[in-house]
């Protein structure tokens, strides 16, 4: 079991509370480059996805690699593609 601090409970896309999920263990730094989308990463080893009502498809969990934005509210690092903090739901940008 990972420590509870590694659990995320908010959607990084809309900030809504979702079923708890963990950080993805795999980096996907080339997401949104070369036309890649989240679908290119779904099902890959170490990739964590979760469900939220804001999207009809699975959403990618952030990971600890290639971190981009630090949440001013709780200090968690979120990938650049996150618009909300997965830990406290604060809007990042
Ligand atoms: Zn959402
Ligand atoms: Zn936060």
> Which residues hold their Cβ within 5 A of ligand 1, which is an ion?
11, 13-14, 16, 52, 54
**Which ligand is closest in space to the CA of residue 87?**
2
Secondary structure in 3-state letters for the chain = CCCHHHEEEECCCCCCEEEEEECECCCCCCCCCCCCCHHHCCCCCCCCEECCCCCCCCEECCECCCCCEECCCCCCEECCCCCECCCCCCECC
pLDDT, tens digit, 9 for 90 and up, residues 34-71:
677 777 888 888 899 999 999 999 999 998 875 688 99
**Which ligand is closest in space to the CA of residue 56?**
1
Name the percent of the chain lying above pLDDT 70: 86
Question: What's the domain count of the chain?
Answer: 1
Domain that holds residue 18: 1-93
């Amino acid at each position: 079991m990972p420590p509870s601090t590694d659990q995320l409970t908010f959607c990084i896309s809309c900030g809504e509370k979702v079923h708890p999920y963990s950080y993805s263990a795999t980096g996907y730094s080339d997401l949104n480059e070369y036309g890649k989308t989240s679908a290119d990463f779904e099902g890959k080893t170490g990739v964590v996805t979760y469900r939220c009502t804001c999207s009809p498809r699975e959403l990618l969990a952030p990971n600890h690699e290639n971190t981009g934005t630090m949440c001013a509210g709780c200090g968690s690092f979120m990938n650049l593609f996150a618009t909300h903090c997965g830990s406290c739901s604060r809007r990042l940008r």
